[in-house]
Structure 1
Amino acid sequence: MCHLCPTTSRRQVLKGVSALAALSALSSLSLAGCADKPSRQLAGAKPLPNTAGALPLNQVRLLPSAFKTAQEANSRYLMALEPDRFLHNFRLFAGLKPKGEVYGGWEADTIAGHSLGHYMSALALLHAQTGSLEAKRRLSYIISELAEVQDAEGDGYVAGFTRKRKDKSIVDGKEIFAEIKAGDIRSAGFDLNGCWVPFYNWHKLYTGLFDAQTYCGLDQALPVAVKLGGYIEGVFAPLSEAQVQQVLDCEHGGINESFAELYARTNDQRWLALAEKLYHKKVLDPLADGKDELANIHANTQIPKLIGLARIHELTGEQRKGAAPQFFWEAVTEHHSYVIGGNADREYFYEPDAIANHITEQTCEGCNTYNMLKLTRHLYSWGVNAAYFDYYERAHLNHILAQIDPDSGMVTYMMPLMSGAVREHSTPFDSFWCCTGTGMESNAKHGDSIYWQSADTFFVNLYIPSSAEWREGKAAFSLNTSYPYQGEIKLKVEKAEQAFTLAMRIPAWAGDDWTLALNGKPVAVSQDRGYAYLSRRFKAGDEITLTLPMTLRLEGTQGDDSVVAVLRGPMVLAADLGSKDDAFDGTAPALAGNDLLAGFAAMDEGSALYKTQGIGRPADMTFSPFYANHQRRSAVYFKRFNDAQWAAEEVAYAAEQERLKDLAARSVDVMHLGEMQAERDHKLEAEISYPVVYRGRNGRDARTGGFFEFTFKVAPGPLKLQATYWGEERKRLFHILIDGKRIASQTLDFDKPGAFFDVQYDIPPALTQGKKQVRVRFEPEPGNSAGPVFGVLLFKPKPQSA
C-alpha cells in the first residue's frame, strides 16, 4: 500500500448504514446516523423526519443532461417496439389469432412473454416522467388484449411462456401446471418442468399491471391481476410446504412481492397469505439470521425475493421480514460490490471482500443493479439516511447510465470491468434479455429518486438537472448544475406558499469540504444523517447553492487495498485503451509511484479529463468518465505499486516470460478451446458442450451426458498433457481420455481465488508409441459438468539435470 496516496473504501462511505434499531408501527428498522456526518442543529431547528417517500414521478421533469439524453434514446426505442409482437404467444395459446409475429432472441425461447411486463412498466414510467399520451394509449391497448386472452382462457390464466417437451417440441407453457399440482416438480434452477422461469415471468407481468394503475390510472389492470392471482393460487393450493420450496428452487423473481402488492391494492387477505407462503427458506432464512452465505448462488435471482420481503414487512411490520433485506443490502454494498455499484461475476456472488479476484468481462449484470436500486428505495423510506443515496448515486451514474448507448438506445447485459473489455449492446428486435427489459424501465425513470418528501420536509438526494412541483408542500423548484463534472449545484425556488425544511444530501466523499449559500451568501445550516438542512419561509426566486469538492481520490477494493480505482466526486474514471473496434492484447495497466495522485495532470477539469505523468505502466494513460465510454475499451481497476514494489514486479514478470518461452519450445501441440478455427483444425467433436469466454480467455465445457474431444499431434518419448482451469469453479468431476483410455479424473474444487491455473497429467507411453496423433476426450461424470477448460497443451517434459 502506498501510504502517501489517500484512499477511501466503500465501507467508510457506507459506515453509517450498519445498525438496526426498533422503530414504530409501519417499520421495525431504522439506520444509525452517518458516523462521518455529525448531527448539529441550529437553535430552534427540528430534527429531520425518520421516514420519507419519493416525490411522485409525474411531479418531476428532467432538464438537459446525460440522463435526459438516455431517456430520449430509450423513448425512441420504446416507440419502435410493437405491442402486438409481444402479445403473439398470449393470443396464440388462448386460441386467438395473433396480430403480429413473435420477436426473436429470448422472446423466441421458453421465457417468451417476460418482455411484455417490462415494456408495460416502461410505458407507464415514460408517461409519468414525460406525460406521453402515446405511451398511455399503448398500455391501455395491451391491458385490453390481456383481458381478452383471459376471457378466452376462461380460468384467469394469461401468459406467453412456452414449454419444451422431452421430444424437443415447443408447446403452450400452461401444460406444466397440471404436473406441478400433481406433485411432479422438476427444476435445475432456471427450468421448471421444461419452461424457463415461469413465475419470474409472471412477476414482470404483475409489475407492469401495477405500474399501469399507479402511473397511468388504468384501473382496468387490477381485474386482470386478480384473475391471474386466482389461477396461481390454485397451482400452489394442493402442494405441501416441501413441494412449495421445491417450486421456489426455480428462479421466481419477486412473485412474493406481486401478491403482497395485490393485497395492498385489494385488501384481500388471501393475497397476503399467498405472498407469505412463497418464502424461499434456503436463501432467506440465513439472511434473516444475519449470515452472509451468498457465495456461489445466482445473484439477481435473490434480490427480487428481498424486495418482496421488504414489501411484506411494510404491510405487516414483521421485524424478521425487514431484517433480511436490511442485512442483505449491507452485505452486498459493503462486501460484494464493484466500484461502479454493480455486483456479481458470471451472474454469481462469490466470497465477500474478493472483488480483486473477479475483475472480468462478465461483471455487473444490469438487472442486479436495477433491483439493488429498488431495494435501496425501500430501505431509505424506512429510515432516512444519506448513505443510502451515496450508494444509489454511485450505481445510478456509473452503471445504469453506462448501460445504455445514447445513440442507439441499446443496453448491455454485463458491464465488463476487465481491462480492455468492450460493452456488448443488445439489438433492437433479436435480444430481449432480462437486462433489455430492466434497461427499458431504468431509462424511463431517471427522475424517480431525485426528490423525496416527508410532511414539511423536502429532500434533494440526487443532483440531476430537473424541475419539481412539490404539490403537498405547495412549492416548486428547478435544479441546474453540470454536476458531477463540476461541483456547483443550484436549486432555485420557483414557488413557495408556506414554510418548509429543505434538506440537501452531502455525499460522504465530500467530508467537510463543502459550502452552502442562500442567494449568494453563506448560511448556517443544521446537519443530520448526511444532510445539510434549513427551515424557513422561502420565497420565489430564492436560490440555494451547494458546492462540493471535485478532487481526485483513489478507492481500494474490499479485501485488497493494493487494487484501486480512480474517482472524482461520485464519478468513476477509466483509462482509455482504444476503440472497441481495435483489438486489445496488452496487459492490464498498473500505477506505480510513491505519490500516485500527484501523477495525475488535468487536461480538462470541466470534462473530467486527466492524464498520468510518469506513473502509468506500461505507459501513461488518459482518464475520462467510465460511464461515457460506450464505444471505448477501458481500464477501471489498477494494481498499484510504490517504486520499490514495481522494480520487484518487473523482475518477476521477466522470469515468467522466460518460463513461458521455455514451455513453448517443448510444446508438441496446443488446443485453443472455444475458438472456431482451432477447433476445426483439431477436428473437434462435441455433444451437450458449449464454448465459453471468461476473463478474456476462450474455453469449452460439457454438461452431463455430453463430451468434447479433439485430435492432437504426438511426438516420440515421454509426453505430458496440461489443461488450464479457473481456480474458483464450483465442485465438478470429469474424466480425461486418450484414444478411449482414461488417464486422469479431475475434480474442480481448488481454492485458487482470482487465478487461472494449470494441471499436468502424465500420458502412459503405450498410448502414444508409434502414433502420429491421438484423440483427447473430456467427459463429465453423470450429474456433473466437465470444465470449463481454458486451453490444452501437449508438451515434452523438461529434461532432468544429471
Structure 2
Amino acid sequence: MFANRRDVLMGTTAVALLSVGEQAFGKGAATLPASAKPLPLSAVRLRPSAYATAVEVNRAYLLRLSADRLLHNFMVYAGLPAKAPLYGGWESDTIAGHTLGHYLTALVLMHAQTGDAGCRTRADYIVGELARAQAKRGTGYVGALGRKRKDGTIVDGEEIFPEVMRGEIKSGGFDLNGSWSPLYTVHKLFAGLLDVHAAWGNTQALTVATGLATYFAKVFAALDDAQMQTLLGCEYGGLNESYAELSARTGDKTWLAVAEQLYDRKMLDPMVAGEDRLANFHANTQVPKLIGLARIHELTGKQAPANAARFFWDTVTRHHSYVIGGNADREYFSGPDSIANHITEQTCEHCNSYNMLKLTQHLYGWQPDGALFDYYERAHLNHVMAAQNPKTAGFSYMTPLMTGTARDYSTAKDDAFWCCVGSGMESHAKHGEAIFWEGEGMLLVNLYIPAEARWQARGAALTLDTRYPFEPESRLTLTKLAKPGRFPIALRVPGWASGRASVAVNGAPVEPVIAKGYAIVERRWTAGDVVAITVPLDLRLESAPGDIDTVAVLRGPLVMAADLGPKDAPWEQADPAMVGADLLAAFTPTVGTAATYATKGIIRPADLSFVPFYSQYDRRSAVYFKRFGEAAWTTQEAAFLAEQARLKDLAARSVDVMHLGEMQPERDHGLTSEISYPESYRGRNGRDARSGGYFEFAMKTRPGPLVLQATYWGDERARDFDILVDTVKVATQHLEADQPGKFFDVEYPLPVALTKGKTSVKIRFVPHDRSSAGPVFGVRMVVAKPGAAA
C-alpha cells in the first residue's frame, strides 16, 4: 500500500487518526488550524498545464452537448413535447436522467473555474425547463428515469413509486421494480439543482429541489423500518447528503430527519463500529453514503457519522486501493490487502475516486492533515487525470492496471453516458478547487498546480508557478497584498519525501517548522514576497497490498508505467518481470524528456522505457511487476512463463466473458431471471437460481467450434441443473464436493450447428425440481483449442 502518515487507533465506535513523523527541519513550534476551508473555485484561475488543458477540453465538450436532448425524457414523461431527440447509451435506458444532474453540476463548476457566462445561461435554462415539467406533473416529482415492464417496453419510471409506498419492493441491488438505480438518479438531479442554487442564488432551482424532496419524503414516510432497509438495498447514491444540504440551505430540520433515515444498516453499521466488511460490496454505491454521513456530522455534531466516514476513508486508502489511488475490481471491493490478486482489466472505476476525493475534502476541512492530501494528490494526478483523453474529450469508465490492457474512452458520438462520463464532466471542470485552503489566518497550499488566486481575507493575489511533478520546485508569489502583515503560510511536504524538503523566502533558505506534513513559514509578508519549496523526485518501489513482490514504480507523486506500444497493437507477450538485487539502479533518465526513464538489464524478457502512467491515453502499459532475485528467477522462470502463457492463451481464445452477480456485466449481457439471486463467496461474485426459476443472458459468438466454460465452487452440496443454449440443452451439471477448497472450471463443447451464422446466443441455467442452479461464478465463451471435436 502507498505510504501514509496515519496510524490508526480503533475502538469499537471511534477512530482517532494521528500523524507521525512530525520532526521539524528546525526549531520552533507551529500548529495547523483546527479546521479549514478551500478558497472558492471562482477565486482560482489555472495557468498553463495539463490541468488547464483538461479544463478547456472539457469546457468545449460541455458546450457541445445538447441540453434539450438531455431533457428529452423529463419533458415527454411530463406530457410536454420534447425539443430534441433522446441521446443513446445509458440515456436510452432506465437510468436516464442521471447525466443531466451531473451536467448541471459540471456547468456550475465550469462557470466558477473559468467565468464562462454561457455555462450559467445554460444551467438556468435547464432549471427553467425542469420547473415546467414539474409543474405539468403537479406532484412535485420531476424525472427522466424509466421503468422496464415485463414485456420489455420502457415507460415513465414514476410508476414504481406508488408500488414502493404499498410495500411492493423488488430490489436486486441495482434494479428496483424494473428501474435501474432510480434513487441514485434522483440524487444526481437533486445535487445538480442544489449546486445551481448555491452558485448564484437561483431560487427556482431551490424550489424544484424542494418539490422533489417533498415527493420522496412522502414515499419514505409510507415505509416501515424493514421496508426502508429493503429499499436502501438498491443503490441510492448520496441522497442522504442532498437532504442534509437542503436542510442547511433552508433551515428546515425536517429534511435533516429524512437524511438520517436514509441509512443502510448492513453497510454503515460496521463502518461506525470500525469493522472492515467491505469485501464484495459494490464500491461506488458505498462512497456517497459516507459523504452523506460526513455532511450529517457537520450539521448535527453527532460523532457516529464522523467515525464511520473516517474509518471508511482510512480503510479504503490503506487496504483497498491500487497504486494510482483508485479502488475496486469490476466495481467491487475485494478482501482487505488483496490488491495483488486483483490486478485486472476492470480495475479502478473513475466514479469511485471522484467520490473519494469529495470525502477527503470533508475530512480535511474538519482537521487539516497532510496525509489526507497525500492520498488526494495521488488519486487526482494518477487516476482522475488518466480518465479523460485530452485529444478526444472522452472519459474512461475503468482505468485498467492489468499489463497490456488499453483504456476505453467514450466517443465523440456521445452515445455512452455511463456514470463515469457524468463524474468525469464534473472532475475536469474543477482542477483548481483544492489547491489553496485557509483557516485561522493561515494559508495552506495543498496541491502544486500552476494557478493564480484571490485570497480575500488578506486582500491578496497569489501566483503559484511550478512544473511539478516533473520538476521539484514550486514558487508561491504574493503578487498583491492589501497591507504587510504577519501570518503563516503552510506548504505541504508529501509523505513520500520523508521530510527531505527545502524552503526559501525571496531566494534565501529558511528553517520552517514541520507540523502534520506541512512546512510552515510564519513571518511578516509584503507584496512581491516569494516562498518556494523544493522536494526530491526520486524513484521508489511500492508493493501491492497482498504481495510484497508485486511492485510498482513511482517518481515523487507520479505512478510510472512501462510503455508497451500503441493501443491498436495487441499485447500478446508474457507479462514483463523485474529481476535483480538493486532494481532502481538500472533506471536512467532519458535526456530531453520529462519524467521518462530507460532500463537496462532488469526487465525480462527485454528492456522497456518508463513514462508517467496517466499520460498513456492511447498506449498500452505495465504498472505492476512481479519482482525476482536472480536465483529465484532461475528457479521460477519456467513456471512463471507457463502460467503467463496459459492466461494469454485463455484471453486470446475468449470471445465473451460474463461476470455474474455484478451490475454492469449483467446489464451489458441483458440478463433476465426469476427466483435468482446474486451471490458473494470467498471473494468471488456469482449468481444462482432456485427451484422453479432460471437466469439467462446473451453471449457473443464467432465462427468455428466454441466451448462454454463455467466456474463453480468445489465444495457445493448436491445439486443438479441444465444448461441451455438458445433453448437447446447442451449439458446437465451435477455439483457435489467436486474439488474441495477451490474454484474450478467445467467446459461444455458446443455443436457448431448451434452457433453457426449467429453473432450471439442465449445461455440459460435452469435448476431441476427442488434443486438449485449454481452458484455460477463466471461464464466464458472461448474458441475451442485446435484439434477439438466439432
Q: TM-score range by the shorter chain?
A: 0.7 to 0.9
- The equivalent of 2:310 in structure 1 is 326
- 1:486 corresponds in structure 2 to 471
Cα distance in structure 2, aligned partners of 1:57 and 1:275: 27
How far apart are the structure 1 equivalents of 2:526 and 2:533? 18
1:66-145 alignment, distance < 5 Å? 66-145=50-129
The alpha-carbon distance between structure 1 residues 321 and 737, as it changes in their structure 2 partners (threshold 3 A), is closer
Partner of 1:577: 564
Number of equivalences: 741
In 2: Cα distance, 1:124 partner to 1:731 partner: 56
> For structure 1, which segment, 211-220 or 51-60, has the greater mean C-alpha deviation from structure 2 after superposition?
211-220
Aligned residue in 2 for 1:368: 352
Change (3 A) 1:706 1:573: same
Greater Cα offset, 168-177 or 568-577: 168-177
Aligned to 1:718: none
1:327-377 CA-partner distances (Å, limit 9, x unpaired):
111110000000000000000000111111111110000100000000000
State which of 585, 600, 622 in structure 1 corresponds to 2:609. Answer: 622
Q: Deviations over 1:305-347 (max 9, x none)?
A: 0000110011111111111111111110000000000000000
Identify the residue that residue 256 of structure 2 maps to in structure 1. Answer: 272
2:765 is the alignment partner of 1:779: yes
- Alpha-carbon RMSD across the aligned residues, in angstroms, is 3.6
The equivalent residue for 2:679 is none
2:578 equivalent to 1:591 = yes
Change (3 A) 1:98 1:598: same
Q: Give the secondary structure class of the aligned counterpart of 2:203.
A: coil
Rounded to whole Å, the distance in 2 between the matches of 1:343 and 1:320 is 25
In the TM superposition, what are the counterparts of 1:197-346 in structure 2 within 5 Å? 197-346=181-330
Are residues 746 and 772 of structure 1, via their aligned partners in 2, closer, same or farther at CA, if it must alter by over 3 Å? farther
Q: Are the structure 2 counterparts of residues 454 and 780 from structure 1 closer, same or farther at C-alpha, using a change threshold of 3 Å?
A: farther
1:750, CA displacement in angstroms? Answer: 7.8
- Which residue among 162, 165, 174 is the counterpart of 1:190? 174
Q: Structure 1 residue 705 and structure 2 residue 724: aligned?
A: no
Structure 2: distance between partners of 1:226 and 1:122: 21
Matched, 1:468 2:453: yes
Q: Which moved more, 1:705-714 or 1:171-180?
A: 705-714
- Residues 665-720 of structure 1 show CA distances to partners (whole Å, capped at 9, x for unaligned) of xxxxx9855299xxxxxxxxx99589xxxxxxxxx999833378999999xxxxxx
> What amino acid sits opposite 1:536 in the alignment?
R
Q: CA deviation at 1:170?
A: 1.3
Q: 2:60 & 2:201 partners in 1: Cα distance?
A: 23
State the shift of 1:658 in Å.
11
Q: Is the 8 A contact 2:30 2:520 kept in 1?
A: no
Q: SS at the partner of 1:790?
A: strand
Q: Does 1:512 align with 2:509?
A: no
Is 1:61 aligned to residue 48 of structure 2? no
Which secondary structure does the structure 2 equivalent of 1:499 belong to? strand
Matching residue's letter, 1:437: G
Residues 197, 250 of structure 1: 8 Å contact kept: yes
Cα deviations by residue, 1:497-544 (Å, 9 ceiling, x for unpaired): 233210000001111321000111111211100001011221111111
After superposition, the Cα gap between the structure-2 partners of 1:733 and 1:539, relative to the gap in structure 1 and judged at 3 Å, is farther
Query: Aligned partner of 1:540: which letter?
Result: A
Cross-structure match for 1:601? 588
CA contact (8 A) 2:67 2:126 kept: yes
Q: Distance in 1 between matches of 2:747 and 2:362?
A: 52
SS in 2 for 1:458: strand
Deviation of the 1:727 alpha carbon: 8.3
Comparing 598-607 and 112-121, the one that deviates more: 598-607
Residue by residue over 1:562-620, the C-alpha shift from the partner in whole angstroms, topping out at 9 and shown as x without a partner, is: 00000000000000111001111111111001110111111137511101100011111
Measure, in 2, the Cα distance between the counterparts of 1:123 and 1:153: 26
Contact 1:344 1:365 in 2 (8 A): yes
Deviations 1:179-214 (A, max 9, x none): 111111111111111111111011111111111122
Q: Say if 1:713 and 1:774, in contact at 8 Å, map to a contact too.
A: no
SS in 2 for 1:99: coil
Match of 1:789 in 2: 779
The correspondence for 1:745, drawn from 731, 735, 745, is 735
Residue from 447, 450, 454 that aligns with 2:435: 450
Instruction: Report deviation, 1:473.
Output: 2.6
1:553 aligns with 2:535: no
Tell me which amino acid in the other structure corresponds to 1:91: M
User: Amino acid of the residue matched to residue 674 of structure 1?
Assistant: D
Letter in 2 for 1:15: R
> Match of 2:778, SS?
strand
State the Cα deviation string for residues 548-568 of structure 1 (Å, max 9, x = none).
101110001112110000000
TM-score by length of 1: 0.86
Q: Give the 3-state SS of the residue equivalent to 2:57 in structure 1.
A: helix
Which residue of the partner structure matches residue 21 of structure 2? 36
8 A Cα contact 1:732 1:785, kept in partner: no
> Cα–Cα, structure 1 residues 671 and 557, in superposed 2: closer, same or farther, change >3 Å?
closer
Give, in angstroms, the shift of residue 733 of structure 1: 7.8
Q: Tell me the CA shift for residue 62 of structure 1.
A: 0.4
Q: Which amino acid aligns with 2:76?
A: L
2: CA distance, partners of 1:659 / 1:451? 50
1:449·1:461 contact (CA, 8 Å) conserved in 2?
yes
Q: Cα distance 1:271–1:746, how it changes in 2: closer, same or farther (>3 A)? A: farther
Aligned counterpart for 2:372 among listed residues 388, 401, 408: 388
1:575–1:732 Cα change, 3 Å: farther
Partners of 1:728 and 1:362 in 2: how far apart? 25
Whether contact under 8 Å (1:164, 1:170) holds in the other structure is: yes
Question: Of 519, 524, 540, which residue of structure 1 is paired with 2:511?
Answer: 524
CA contact (8 A) 2:695 2:764 kept: no
- Find out whether 1:535 has 2:517 as its counterpart: no
Could you tell me how far 1:657 is from its partner in structure 2? 9.3
Q: Indicate yes or no: 2:489 matched with 1:502.
A: yes
Asked if structure 1 preserves the Cα contact closer than 8 Å seen for 2:378 and 2:557, the reply is yes
CA distance in 1 between counterparts of 2:325 and 2:193 reads: 29
Aligned to 1:354: 338
**Which stretch of structure 1 is more off in the superposition, 741-750 or 180-189?**
741-750
Amino acid at match of 1:139: A
| 1:436 is the counterpart of 2:421 | yes
Classify 1:479/1:796 alpha carbon distance in 2 versus 1 (closer, same or farther; 3 Å): closer
The equivalent of 2:637 in structure 1 is 650
Tell which has more relative contact order, 1 or 2 (C-alpha 8 A, sep 6+): 1
- Give the AA of the match of 2:780: F
**TM-score for the superposition, normalised by structure 2:** 0.87
| 2:571 partner SS | coil
| SS of the residue 1:493 aligns to | strand
Say whether the 8 Å CA contact 2:347–2:399 is kept in structure 1: yes
Structure 2: gaps (5+ residues): 659-668, 674-685, 756-760
Q: 1:426 aligns with which of 410, 413, 426?
A: 410
Contact in 1 for aligned 2:169/2:230 (Cα 8 Å):
yes
Over the matched positions of the two proteins, sequence identity in percent amounts to 49
Q: 1:786–1:199: structure 2 CA closer, same or farther, 3 Å change rule?
A: same
Asked if 2 retains the 8 angstrom alpha-carbon contact of 1:733 and 1:745, the reply is yes
Distance 1:514 1:72 in 2: 33
Q: Indicate the SS of the match to 2:377.
A: helix
Q: Secondary structure at the match of 1:562?
A: strand
The CA distance in 2 between the partners of 1:600 and 1:270, in whole Å, is 61
8 Å contact kept, 1:495–1:540: yes
Structure 1 alignment gaps of length 5 or more? 1-8, 23-27, 665-669, 677-685, 691-699, 715-720, 798-802
1:483 Cα shift? 0.4
